[in-house]
A and B are shown apart, each in its own frame.
Chain A
Amino acid sequence: MQDFLLYTTNGLLLGVIYALSALGVSLIVGIMNVINFSHGELYVLAGYFSALFARGLGLPVTLAALLAVIMVFIFGLILERVLLRNTYGNDMASLIITFVLSIVLQNAYLLIFGPYPQKPPGWVTGSTHLFGLFYYGNQRLAALGVGAVVIAALFVVIKKTWFGKTVRAVAQDREMAAMLGVNPTMVNMLSFGTGCALAAAAGVILSPIFPVTPTVSVGVSLTAFIVVVLGGMGSLTGCVVGGLVLGLVQNLGAAYVSSGYKHFFGFFILLLVLVVRPTGLFGQKQL
């Protein structure tokens, strides 16, 4: 029972971060119809940046984390401008470009940072006695809390603000939105940047717990894709539910079946969902 609760808590923590990371992919798919294969590399980049700012420049850890997210956001804007802008309407070109970009970034990290794990310092120390049963690291609890807050903030922005309405309008009908005076190019650029920033947020939250290396990115991208398909392409609620489901399945599966097959369970669920319900749990018919 004690073990089960621990695994479940771990599953929930990862689930929230998976959801956060997948929201970035989902936003970009929903608005630009582009699957960003380099999502995981941006997560890793944020981890490197926050380690660099905190250890190298000696900035306070939270400021370093925030700065890392902003840097990745700007990097995302540049990527959209330089690589993706002239591929709109050609799904295959953007698919190939982001896939190649992911390999380029992985090898660049290997060259610059080496294969060694990099870890930014934690935000908090110590641990808390949970449910009167086991000790749980405060850093993990903080990650869970911050992740949940960022997700809630994103929902408010998308549902309530002017920017959110514009974005939803473009996602629904690009030409109509353009006719009503929305600048779709600007919306594309900002949403790609925001999607990258969400990957970065997941990266800075998790990297003090799980250090980043050039190769963890593949797992991050794949989990984000699984969550997006699980929840339904373009559905934000689906992302949150899909993230939690995947986090729980992976952790309980790793604990009770086999840890080597941890990621296997995710792929298996993906295939299963695609067979039974290709539009995902909350997906619409289109796309």
Chain B
Amino acid sequence: MTHRWTQVFSVVLFFLCVGFPFVAGEYWLHTGILCLFYVMMASSWNLLAGYTGQVSFAHAAFAGMGAYVSGLAAIHFHVPPLLGVFLGTAVAAVLGLLLGILCIRMGGIYLSLTTLAFSEMLRIIVDNEYELTRGTMGLSVPFLLPAYSKTAAYFLMAAVTLVLLYAIHRLVRSDLGTAFRAVQNDETAAASLGLHVVRIRVVAFVISSTIAGLAGALYGHYHQLITPEILSLNLMFQVLAMTVIGGLGTFAGPIIGAVFLQFLSEYIRIYGQIHVLVFGLVALAVCRFAPEGLMGLRRRPGRLSPS
């Protein structure tokens, strides 16, 4: 796509986002807000997996961390949600830094295993510490804004999502973004060029975890109920499936994947939990036959991929 078309596309998208709540009913507005949450989650996971090649399974755990920290602060210390969201994000960032330093030096498979273990540990703690987290019953938390309004919540989430997307867009085109891809493509060559491979990976991991924490905290206060479901592997799977189906390592892939799958799941939800199975089968087929996802279909055969 040429630069001009990208601009036109962005403007159209922006107005679609702004106009959406005026045409959508209550139900579709809710779906739209969920889409925004998934766009944030999938885009930030893609930043890590698609651009630096590290598969983390703790992404949902960081979202849960953001949600629970903010929720607990609001309940026990009456911190206003908008301030609590920052607190939750900060805690997720610090935890991401610690976990990143701990396990990224060991590389590939170890990162996946450690993040998986971390996320299950967190789930066990939340399930068991009933007095604090109310276990599987879920934690009731105040609404995101002082007055309840779905439309206002939508605009807030949309604004945050657009800012994050713009930041990610700038980031992947910056020197740091180039360093991300250099590390993914050839670690040894990147190191010989003087790049600090471990530090670059940790930076990507922390940025990604921070965004997940922010998305989780916003989502928790919008939903007004935080359950261990948010840090489960099921949510992790949905984020992963959205990114993979949309196109790993492309900017638009996770956005398209998240919106497409979220709306799809609204249509097939009437058949019960079958939507998870459908997502899974689609994701498997994409991995096997079209590893570049929906974004890959756009490219004409024979043309080299831009990255």
Which of A87, A97, A226 has the most B CB atoms < 10 Å from its CB?
A: A97
Q: Mark A1-43, 1 if CB is under 8 A from B, else 0.
A: 0000000000000000000000000000100000100000000
Interface residues in B205-242 (C-beta closer than 8 Å to A): 233-234, 237, 240-241
B280 touches A100 (CB 8 A): yes
Query: Which residues from chain B contact A258 at a C-beta distance below 8 Å?
Result: 128
Interface residues of chain B: helix, strand, loop or mixed (majority): helix
B124 touches A260 (CB 8 A): yes
Instruction: Across the interface, name the chain B residue whose C-beta is closest to A97.
Output: B287
B121 touches A267 (CB 8 A): yes
**Contacts A93-B291, A107-B276, A108-B277; is A222 near B112 (CB within 8 Å)?**
no
Interface residues of chain A: helix, strand, loop or mixed (majority): helix
Of B3-11, B71-79, B102-110, B196-204, the one touching chain A: B102-110
- In the complex, A78 Cα to B190 Cα: how many Å? 38
- In the complex, A222 Cα to B123 Cα: how many Å? 14
- Total contacting residues, chain B, CB less than 8 A: 40
- Give min CB distance, B113 to chain A, whole Å: 5
Instruction: Across the interface, name the chain B residue whose C-beta is closest to A264.
Output: B124
**Contacts A92-B55, A103-B280; is A222 near B117 (CB within 8 Å)?**
yes
Query: Which residues from chain A contact B187 at a C-beta distance below 8 Å?
Result: none
Interchain CB contact (< 8 A) of A95 among B55, B234, B283: B55
**Contacts A267-B120, A267-B121, A274-B110; is A100 near B277 (CB within 8 Å)?**
no
A261 touches B244 (CB 8 A): no
A103 touches B288 (CB 8 A): no
**Sample of 16 further A-B pairs with CB below 8 A, known A222-B117, A264-B125:** A35-B112, A82-B288, A83-B284, A87-B287, A92-B49, A96-B55, A100-B241, A100-B283, A103-B280, A104-B281, A107-B280, A110-B273, A267-B121, A270-B113, A270-B117, A274-B106
> Mind listing 6 A-B residue pairs with CB under 8 Å?
A35-B113, A103-B276, A107-B276, A229-B113, A271-B114, A274-B110
Interface residues of chain B, those whose CB is within 8 Å of chain A, are 49, 53, 55, 57, 102-103, 105-106, 108-110, 112-114, 116-118, 120-121, 124-125, 127-128, 233-234, 237, 240-241, 244, 273-274, 276-277, 280-281, 283-284, 287-288, 291
